[in-house]
Structure 1
Amino acid sequence: MKKRSIFSRFNNWFIFSLMTLVVVAIVIASTLVINYLKKEEIKRVDILVNAIMFQQDVVPSLEVQELLLTIYSSNTTIPVIILDKKDQVIEYKNLSKDVGANSSDIIALAKRMGKKYPAIEIKVPDGNNQFLYYDNSKILNNLQYSPFLLGFFVLCYFLFSFWFLRTIKKTDEGYLWAGLAKETAHQIGTPLSSMMGWMEIMKLENPDSDGVHEIEKDIERLRTISERFSKIGSVPELNDMNFNQTIQENYDYLKTRISKKVDFTLLLSSYNILVPHNKILMSWVIENLVKNAVDAMKGQGTLQMSVFERNKNILVEVKDNGSGMTKYQAQNAFKPGYSTKKRGWGLGLSLAKRVVQEYHNGDIKISQTEVGKGTTFRIIIKKG
């Protein structure tokens, strides 16, 4: 169990570190690529403009003409439109296919380009200056969506980080409470064995004494409690089937041990409910809910426990008319260490939640609560 938990935590940290590296790499790569492409396209446009101006100023030799042609041909990505001062099309290149060869469409596109990037004036000797309009290449335009993708990845990263840290916290708390529970079981076991020995001696001296029978019941109860604590952190076997019987036995035991001023009633289904569960751990859950309800009523009031079936689920409700809870108290009731009692450790409900969720694949929640009117706890266990 210990090796598996250490391995699980290592995997969590490995995944967290890997996701961090992925997000950092995406940010750096996106920034570098966009900046590089922008600089390269600006350089290409400048070279192209200088080549055109050079060609206008002098009559180039054949070699120079070939060089200028190479410079012009090397631009295969950046959309370029050259107009004269009367907005007549001189040249264009790398335009999208939907523009076509219509002069009016090309001129309209050039004007739209001019709103994004100022046109570059090309001065010619005869005074009929030309104007070069350009835009980002297709790949650079597509990269404009990269910040949104990056934002999405960063958001996913933070959500994962939140989940990861929360999981680590819950795992550490689980190990703490499991260790505490097992140590408690160990500590109870030593004096309990001694008490059982003394009990046998007392039975030999006076076997029919009422006191002996009551002490024997309490010793048996301590043994059950010790067994409960010892099962925390281990995977229990779900061998018990008759759920009604488990609830009835709990009710019978608790009925005699809570205040007589509490009107404690049980409503069971008219037919047997068969569902795999661990009787010892489920009894612990019920006992915790009942004791919390009795404390909330300060030892007097009405307490009702009911078992019924709904939508292929088995529901157990423990309803009291005690002090109730505030919204904040209800939200934190199952958190380890949280308690509304001055001397409470905040272990009961958190361990009950663990028993129901992790060991019985169910859920436990506060279905209704109101300050001054009471609280209803609900256990939900899947029937099949």
Structure 2
Amino acid sequence: MRKSILARLNNWIIFSLMTLIVLTIVIASTILFNFLRKEEIKRVDILVSALKFQQEVTTPSLEIQSLILQIYSSNTTIPVIILDKEDQIIDSKNIPREIENNSREIILLAKQMAQHYPPIELKFPNQNNQFVYYDNSRLLNNLRYSPYILGFFILSYFLFSFWFLRTIKKTDEGYLWAGLAKETAHQIGTPLSSMIGWIEIMKLEHPDSEGVYEIEKDIERLRTISERFSKIGSVPELNDTDFNTTIQDNYNYLKTRISRKVNFSLQLPPDDIQVPHNKILMSWVIENLVKNAVDAMKGDGTLTMSVFEKNKNILVEVKDTGSGMTKRQAANAFKPGYSTKKRGWGLGLSLAKRVVQEYHNGDIKIAHTEVGKGTTFRITIRKS
């Protein structure tokens, strides 16, 4: 219980930190982008205004010329190219270094700038007019992609949040059902201990009684059930290796306890299968699938259990000719608390999935189902 609380607390701390980081990045990026964009626009406006003023004033004073020169020199980021009417280079500033000594490339760059902003024409009395080409700075051009990067980051954050909250929900459900299973084992254990003592006394008084023998088998069965529940929530030891024997023993037990109207058959591979597993828990999984199949057939039909190898995996299929499932029922079949029966907690398949996936590193799913024709459950476990 303490571990579950700490796990949830750690998850919420991580979630809160991620939320704070995302909000900080979004706010800081937005403020920075808007500030730099406004500053670039101001500088472009000032530079253009200075060049236009120089063009309009016929005899500017030395102070004005000095001010215009200072404005032009202070520009260290905005690329500017000045050409005459014959496309001869008068001056260039803040252009890529690799083309600084290449006149042809500079002229091509100027024509590309003209596609973004129309050049400013500087008129002179001698008709040797000049044209000022300019563009956004490299920083501002790069900032054009920041909204897309930011959008991608936010989308990734929301996907992470969805995964995180879903994991939290599954973790809480897992702890709930594991706790319920352990409590059930504890509650069964008290009267079971008493029953074991009484059956020993009955065996002394009636050693050959068939009734005592049958009760002893049922008590042993209750002990097995109690042990199964007690293992949920803890890491079981995978000491058993003969998978065929586990399936065969489970089949033999179940065949004597289901309706005789059910044609129950087992198909095993001819060779032994060595798979590390926990016999008690794996038998529980098979028993859950078989009981669900019998309920779906209402005690009358054909039930086939098959074990076969495929690549490096061992597959166990439980196929029935029962009522089948709709798509919605199949999608919810393994969810804790979901059940199509009037009775039951919807716990069996959920715990079966936990046993296969978490304890045996395998998978369990509905391989095929069709309403009115039946369902096939499939367990997949790696051989080694």
Q: TM-score, normalised by structure 2?
A: 0.89
CA distance in 1, matches of 2:319, 2:60: 100
Q: Is the 8 A contact 2:238 2:276 kept in 1?
A: yes
Residue by residue over 1:73-124, the C-alpha shift from the partner in whole angstroms, topping out at 9 and shown as x without a partner, is 1112112245679988765433345597658973x75565455345567687
SS at match of 1:345: coil
Name the structure 2 match of 1:185. Answer: 185
Match of 1:31 in 2: 30
Describe the SS at the equivalent of 1:260: coil
1:53–1:124 CA contact under 8 A, matched in 2:
no
Residue 330, structure 1, aligned to residue 325, structure 2: no
Equivalent AA in structure 2 for residue 198 of structure 1 = W
Partner of 1:236: 236
CA distance in structure 2 between the aligned counterparts of 1:100 and 1:30, rounded to whole angstroms:
37
Count residues with an aligned counterpart: 381
- State whether structure 2 residue 214 is matched by structure 1 residue 206: no
Q: Is the partner of 2:144 in helix, strand or coil?
A: helix
**Structure 2 counterpart of 1:220:** 220
Quote the residue 2:4 is aligned against: 5
Amino acid at match of 1:71: I
Q: 1: CA distance between counterparts of 2:230 and 2:106?
A: 82
Q: Return the letter of the residue paired with 2:188.
A: I
The unaligned stretches of length 5 or more in structure 2 are none
Please state if 1:378 is matched with 2:382. no
Range that drifts further, 330-339 or 198-207: 198-207
**Quick check: 1:77–1:94 contact (8 Å CA) kept in 2?**
yes
Hey, what does 1:276 align to over in structure 2? Answer: 276
- Distance in structure 2 (CA, Å) of the matches to 1:131 and 1:226: 91
Query: 2: CA distance between counterparts of 1:285 and 1:297?
Result: 19
**CA 43–128 in structure 1, closer or farther in 2 if over 3 Å, else same:** farther
Whole-angstrom CA distance in 2 between matches of 1:26 and 1:360? 42
Question: TM-score when scaled to structure 1?
Answer: 0.89
Assess if the C-alpha contact under 8 Å between 2:297 and 2:323 holds in 1: yes
Query: In 2, distance between residues paired with 1:161 and 1:274?
Result: 41
Deviation of 1:313 after TM superposition, in Å, equals 1.2
1:284-295 maps to which residues of 2 (within 5 A)? 284-295=284-295
Would the alpha carbon gap of residues 104 and 223 (structure 1) be closer, same or farther in structure 2, given more than 3 Å must change? closer
Q: Tell me, which stretches of 5 or more residues in structure 1 are unaligned?
A: none
SS in 2 for 1:344: coil
Q: Answer with 42-51 or 137-146: which moved more.
A: 42-51
User: How far is the alpha carbon of 1:173 from its aligned partner?
Assistant: 0.0
Q: In the alignment, which residue of structure 2 is the partner of 1:155?
A: 155
Aligned pair in 2 of structure 1 residues 117, 54: CA closer, same or farther (>3 Å)? Answer: closer
1:367 alignment partner, SS class: strand
Distance, in Å, in 2 between the alignment partners of 1:193 and 1:52 is: 100
After superposition, residues 53-72 of structure 1 pair within 5 angstroms as 53-55=52-54, 57=57, 58-61=59-62, 65-72=65-72
Distance 1:29 1:195, change over 3 A: same
Provide the secondary structure at the position in 2 that maps to 1:27. Answer: helix
Deviation at 1:344, TM superposition (A): 2.6
Alignment-derived partner of residue 46 in structure 2: 47
Counterpart residue number, 1:197: 197
Name the structure 2 match of 1:353. Answer: 353
Letter in 1 for 2:77: T
The one-letter code sitting in structure 2 at the alignment partner of 1:29 is A
C-alpha offsets along residues 250-280 of structure 1, whole Å, 9 cap, x if unaligned? Answer: 1111111100111111112222211111111
Cα pair 1:363 1:381 within 8 Å, conserved? yes
Separation in 1, partners of 2:89, 2:341: 85
Code of the aligned partner of 1:37: L
CA contact (8 A) 2:40 2:140 kept: no
Cα distance, 1:366–1:103 mapped onto 2, change above 3 Å: closer
Question: What residue is the counterpart of 1:142 in the other structure?
Answer: 142
* Structure 1 equivalent of residue 164 of structure 2: 164
Deviation at 1:307, TM superposition (A): 1.5
The residue that corresponds to 2:16 in the other structure is 17
C-alpha separation in 1, matches of 2:232 and 2:104:
81
Contact 2:99 2:105 in 1 (8 A): no
Partner of 2:305: 305
- 1:50 deviation in Å? 3.8
CA distance in 2 between counterparts of 1:152 and 1:70 reads: 42
1:204, CA displacement in angstroms? Answer: 2.3
Structure 1 residues 174-210: Cα deviation after superposition (integer angstroms, max 9, x where no partner): 0100111111111111121222222222222222111
SS of the equivalent of 2:145 reads: helix
Residue of structure 1 equivalent to 2:257? 257
CA-CA distance at 1:46 after TM superposition: 2.6
Counterparts of 1:44 and 1:139, CA distance in 2: 13
**Secondary structure at the counterpart of residue 308 of structure 1:** strand
Cα distance in 2 for partners of 1:222, 1:324 equals: 31
CA distance in 1, matches of 2:104, 2:53: 26
- Give the counterpart letter for 2:40 in structure 1: E
Structure 2 equivalent of residue 74 of structure 1: 74
Deviations 1:2-60 (A, max 9, x none): 44433332332232223223322332233222222221122222322343355453433
RMSD of the TM alignment (CA)? 2.7
CA–CA distance in structure 2, aligned partners of residues 298 and 216 of structure 1: 29
